[in-house]
Amino acid sequence: MKKQFIPFAYLSPTLFLIAVLSFIPIATVFYYSLMDNVIITRTDPTFVGLSNYIEILSDDKFLQALRNTLFLAIVSVIGHFLLGLSFAMLLNAKTLNPITKAIFRVIYILPWVFTASIIAILWRLLLNPNGAVNYLMSISRLADSPTEWLSSRDLALNTVTFINIWAGYPFYMVSFLAGLQGIPNDLYEAGKVDGASGVQLFRFVTLPQLKPIIISLGMLDFIWTTHQFTLIWMTTGGGPIRATEMLSTFTYKLAFSSNEFSLASTTAMVILALSLFVAIFYVRNQRLSSE
C-alpha cells in the first residue's frame, strides 16, 4: 500500500502545478470552443456544440495554415536533427584540443541565446532587399537583382523555415552532446575489435544509443514548432498572401484581430488533438522500448 503511494509523492509538485496552471486554462479554452459570443461581446455566450469545429475544419485558410505548419514542423525537425547531430559529432571529435572545442561550442550555441523577436528583426535586416545577404550575392555575382527572401510568395515559407532551423538546432546539439557522453566506451571498443568502420560504429552504436533522445527531442520539437508564433509573426506576419500562414498566426488573428475567440479556441483544440496524437505515439513507443 505504502509502496503504491511513493511515486505519487515524487510526482506531487508536478501534478499540483499542472492541475492548477494547465488544466484550468485548457478546460476554459475547451469550453469556449463549444460556445459562441465569448470574451469580446456584450451578449451572453451561447452553446453551439460542434458547429465551431465544422466551421474551422471546412475553412480553406485553416487547411492552408495546417499544411504550412506541417511543412515548417517536419522540415524544421529534420533540419534541427541533422545540424544538431553533425555539430555535436564535430565537437565530440577526440582529435580536438579542449580549448578549440570550448570556443566552437560557444559559437555553435549562439543562435539559441536570443529572444525570438530579436532573431526575427536580425534576419529581416540580413534578408532585406538592401541587406547583407543580397549584397554578398550581388558582389559575388550570384544574382543580378536583389532576392525578396521574405516578401516573395515562392520563397517566404522556405526562408522562415530556414530561420527557424537556424534558431533551434543548438538545443538538439546540446542534448546530443550530453547524450554522446553517456555512451559507454566499451561499445565502441567492442565494435572496433569486431573490425567495424567509423560509419558502421556511427550506425550501429551511436544512433541506437541516442535513439531515446532523438525520439523525445523530435516529438517535443514538433509540438513546439507548431506553436512557433513570434518568429513567424515578426518576419512575415503570415504573408505574403498566406504563404507563411501558420496555425499559430491564424489563431492569433482570429482571437485578437477578428475577435472570434470561440473560433480561435476551436483551432487551439484542433492543434491540441494533433499534438496529442504525436504524444500518444511517443508514449506507446516508450512503453514498447522499456518492455
Site for other proteins in 102-161 (CB under 8 A): 102, 104-118, 121-126, 128-132, 135, 139, 145-146, 148, 150-153, 156
- For the bound state, the minimum distance from the C-beta of residue 204 to other proteins, rounded and expressed in Å, comes to 18
Q: What residue ranges in 42-132 does DSSP mark as E strands?
A: 46-47
Which residue among 65, 73, 85, 255 contacts other proteins (CB under 8 A)? 255
Do 246 and 63 form a contact (C-beta atoms < 8 A)?
A: no
CA angle (51 as vertex; 47, 57 as ends), nearest 5: 145
- Residue 285 touches other proteins, criterion: CB under 8 A: no
- For the bound state, the minimum distance from the C-beta of residue 44 to other proteins, rounded and expressed in Å, comes to 12
- Residue 196 touches other proteins, criterion: CB under 8 A: no
* Residues in region 43-82 near other proteins by CB under 8 A: none
- How buried is residue 278: exposed, middle or buried, by Cβ count under 10 Å (0-12/13-18/19+)? middle
* CB nearer other proteins, residue 49 or residue 258: 258
- How buried is residue 176: exposed, middle or buried, by Cβ count under 10 Å (0-12/13-18/19+)? buried
- How buried is residue 166: exposed, middle or buried, by Cβ count under 10 Å (0-12/13-18/19+)? middle
* Residues in region 75-104 near other proteins by CB under 8 A: 83, 86-87, 90, 93, 95-96, 98, 101-102, 104
CA dihedral 162, 165, 170, 174 (to 10 degrees): -150
Beta bridge partners of 36: 46
- For the bound state, the minimum distance from the C-beta of residue 125 to other proteins, rounded and expressed in Å, comes to 7
**Count of residues interacting with other proteins (CB under 8 A):** 132
* CB nearer other proteins, residue 158 or residue 230: 230
Which residue among 53, 75, 272, 285 contacts other proteins (CB under 8 A)? 272
